[in-house]
Amino acid sequence: QSALTQPASVSGSPGQSITISCTGTSSDIGGYNYVSWYQQHPGRAPKVLIYDVSNRPSGVSNRFSGSKSGNTASLTISGLQAEDEADYYCSSYTSSNTVVFGGGTKLTVL
């Protein structure tokens, strides 16, 4: 199972919006609505931001939103804040009853 494809890095200025893409196949992202997104700050465990493509757990800011089209999922962060600077990972359930992560995207807030 190959890793999902994410851009290595994205950047934006405070207040702007950015979108991180995550591309898989019909055996993972395209076949199931079990896409989730995680935020990881250096030295910390990941934290879930989005699950089931577009749902936010309680306590997660509504500045984070998710969507999916075909084999590609996307995470959008609106109103960028300095604290959003972190690594972001997508993940998906697969047809093999396994899980696959994306390679990760480093977000820089300029």
Partner 1 sequence: QVQLVQSGAEVREPGASVKVSCKASGYTFTGYYIHWVRQAPGQGLEWMGWINPNSGGTNYAQKFQGWVAMTRDTSISTAYMELSRLRSDDTAVFYCARERGGSCYYDSWGQGTLVTVSS
Give contact residues for partner 1 (rule: CB under 8 A): 1, 3, 34, 36, 38, 40, 45-48, 51-52, 55, 57, 87, 89, 91, 93, 97-104
Among 26, 40, 45, residue whose Cα is nearest residue 93: 26
CB of 25 to partner 1, least distance (A): 16
Q: Which is nearer to partner 1, 10 or 48 (CB)?
A: 48
User: Least separation, in Å, of the C-beta of 41 and partner 1?
Assistant: 12
Closer CB to partner 1, 46 or 77, in the complex: 46
Residue with tokens 């996307």: 74
**Which residue do the tokens 């359930």 mark?**
93
Are 72 and 87 within 8 A, CB to CB? no
Q: Which is nearer to partner 1, 57 or 70 (CB)?
A: 57
> What minimum distance in Å lies between the beta carbon of 14 and partner 1?
26
Let me know: does 80 contact 64? Beta carbons within 8 Å.
Answer: no
Identify the H or E element spanning 19: strand 18-23
Provide the minimum distance between the beta carbon of 36 and partner 1 in the complex, in angstroms, as a whole number.
Answer: 4
Closest CA to 63 of 2, 5, 12: 12
